[in-house]
Amino acid sequence: QAGFYPWGGSELVAQLAPGRPAGVNLLDRGPLTRIRGVAGVSGLDRSIARRMRRRAENRLEALGVDVAIEEIAWPSHRPGVAIALIAEHEGTVPATFVGLGERGKPSEAVADEAVKELLAFEAVPAAVDPHSADQLLLPLALAPGGSSYTVSQVTEHLRTNVATIRAFLDRDIRIEEPTNPGEPGRVTMVAT
């Protein structure tokens, strides 16, 4: 069930199998192989999802890869719209970019928001997108050995998550800031 700001109310059911995290070295990103996504509405006309999908597909066509965006209507207690675009590259984790609707914001602008982030990621030769960069920290901090990955943008979320993990775990986590615009940063978990 979807939940939209400010009311919330989303619900997700997940089943997780036991496992042990393992370190990774994600320094390079292979070629873009495809883009998939979801354009969704809740409590609103599905034509809004269609407009977001079409806008994103038109803007991403120049990348020359398969683009498949599903239109969906989510159950929710309140109205809302969102689009998620997932860029898949050889040799690394998928990168996800989201556009969120709000009252008075055209559906095309919602799609443009996600496309703009995706295109910015494609312009930097990093293995991991800025949203996944901070999400990878905790499992890698719990994994034995070292890990390292390049990131297209060093964000405040990334810095904050590093500081939070350091407050609870005795783990040496280093962030190397890019020296020039358009260069990737790097996160390293030093082997213990």
Cα gap 60→117, rounded to integer Å: 12
- Active-site annotation holds for 157: yes
Q: Does position 5 have pLDDT exceeding 80, yes or no?
A: no
**Range name among 3-7, 8-12, 20-24, 46-50 with the lowest pLDDT average:** 3-7
The answer to whether 105 and 5 have CB atoms below 8 angstroms apart is no
The CA distance from 79 to 127, in Å, is 35
Two tokens, residue 113: 């928001």
Cis peptide before 6 (omega within 30 of 0): yes
**pLDDT reported for residue 4:** 78
Per-residue pLDDT reduced to its tens digit, 77-93 = 889 999 999 999 998 89
pLDDT tens across 105-146, in order? Answer: 999 999 999 999 999 999 999 999 999 999 999 999 999 999
**Which residue out of 77, 89, 131, 157 is catalytically annotated?**
157
Q: Count of CB atoms within 10 A of residue 95's CB?
A: 26
Residue 160 DSSP SS3: helix
99, 82 in Cβ contact below 8 A? yes
